[in-house]
Amino acid sequence: MSDFIEVVSDDFPEIFFIHGNRNARYPYSNSMLFKDILIDTGISNQYIRRLKKEHKITKVLLSHWHEDHISGNYRLKNSEFFCHKNDQKIIENTELMYEYYNIKDSPIEEQFQEGMSIFNLRDTKITDNFENDELIKIDEDLCLKVLHTPGHTAGHCSFLETNSKIAFLADIDLSSFPFYGGIDSDLIKLEKSLEKLLECNLEIVATGHKGIFRDKNKIQQAIMSYQDIIKKRDKRILDQLSERSPTKTEQLKKLNLIYKKYGMFEDYEHIAEMVMINKHFEKLLKEKRVIFEDGGYILS
C-alpha cells in the first residue's frame, strides 16, 4: 500500500485516511476513502493516479466547492460525483469561483486566475445531491452520515461513519486559521456548525489539512480552540471601535485583524480579510454588540 494511504483503525480495514501531498498544505488537501467511496480529490494529481491503481473508486463525495478539494475530479471520469445542493453550481461552473472569492472585476482578477491555473480545474457534473443527516450505506459494516456544517461555504459538509465513529471534517480543519472569506461564507452558521460537532462527541476525526485526531477529549479541545480563534478575532475588531465615532470597514484594511501577517498572496489576503471582517460585523450586529450608524459601526 502506498505510503500516503493510512488505515485509520485496525477494526475497520476499509477506512483509509489519504494524506495530501506536501502534508496537505495548500494547494493540496487530505481525503478519506471508505471502501470505494472517496471524499474530496485534492490530494494531488500524482496521488490520485496512484490511488486509482490500488483502489476502485465508484463514487466521490465533495465536501465543498473550494479548488484545493476538487482539483482531482477530472481524473476520476468513471466515478459519480455528489455534493450538497448549495455548492453544486460552483462545482459545475468553476468560473464562478472568481465571483465567490470577491475578486471578479477587481484589479487582481487576472493575477488570481493565473494562480488558479495550477489546479487545471474542470467543471464537474454532479450526479445527485446529499442532504443533512442523510445515510449513505456502503456495505454491511460501513455507513456514512452526512453532517451539513455550513459557514466555511454554504454547502460545506462533514461525514461520520456510524459504526466506527470515524469522521472527516473537511475544511473545519481544526488549524490555527479558520477561513470564511467567500461571499457564501457565514460566520454565524460556522459557529453553529462547531457547536453541532461538539455535540457529536466524536472519537476519531480527520480534517482536510491536518492529520488524524484521536481521543474524544482532545477532539473537543481542538474544536474549542478553533472557536476561541474566532472569539479573539471578534475582540480585535471590537477593539478598533468606539462608542461615539462610527468606524467604516475600509478603515480596518491592512490592520492584520484576521491574518497575523500577509504572505505571498497579500493582495488577495487583503480582499479575503475584508470579507471576513464583514462576516464578523454581521454576527456582531445580530448579537447587538455593535450598531450600524452613518455608514460605520459603533459599540453598542
214, 288: one domain: no
CA distance 163 to 141: 7
Tens digits of pLDDT across the chain (300 residues): 799 999 999 999 999 999 999 999 999 999 999 999 999 999 999 999 999 999 999 999 999 999 999 999 999 999 999 999 999 999 999 999 999 999 999 999 999 999 999 999 999 999 999 999 999 999 999 999 999 999 999 999 999 999 999 999 999 999 999 999 999 999 999 999 999 999 998 999 999 999 999 999 999 999 999 999 999 999 999 999 999 999 999 999 999 999 999 988 899 999 999 999 999 999 999 999 999 999 999 999
130 and 197 co-located in one domain: yes
Hey, how many other C-beta atoms are within 10 angstroms of the C-beta on 56? 9
Cell numbers given for 17: 485516511
Same domain, 33 and 132: yes
Determine the 3-state secondary structure of 53 from DSSP. Answer: helix
How many structural domains does the chain have? Answer: 2
Domain boundary among 203, 229, 255: 229
Residues 9, 141 contacting (CB under 8 angstroms):
no
Calpha distance 300→163 (Å, rounded): 48
Q: Which of 26, 23, 35 is nearest to 61 (CA)?
A: 35
- Cα→Cα distances 136→169, 205, 248, Å: 16, 18, 47
**Cα 37 to Cα 80: distance, rounded to the nearest angstrom:** 10
pTM of the predicted structure, to 2 decimals: 0.97
Task: Using alpha carbons, list the distances in angstroms from residue 57 to 39, 78, 79.
Answer: 10, 8, 7
User: What's the CATH code of the domain at 108?
Assistant: 3.60.15.10
Which domain-ending residue is among 202, 229, 256? 229
Give residue 273's identity as a one-letter amino acid code: E
Domain co-membership, 49 together with 105: yes
Q: Which residues span the domain enclosing 253? A: 240-299
Q: Is residue 59 part of a domain?
A: yes
Considering the domain architecture, whether residues 224 and 290 belong to the same structural domain is answered as no
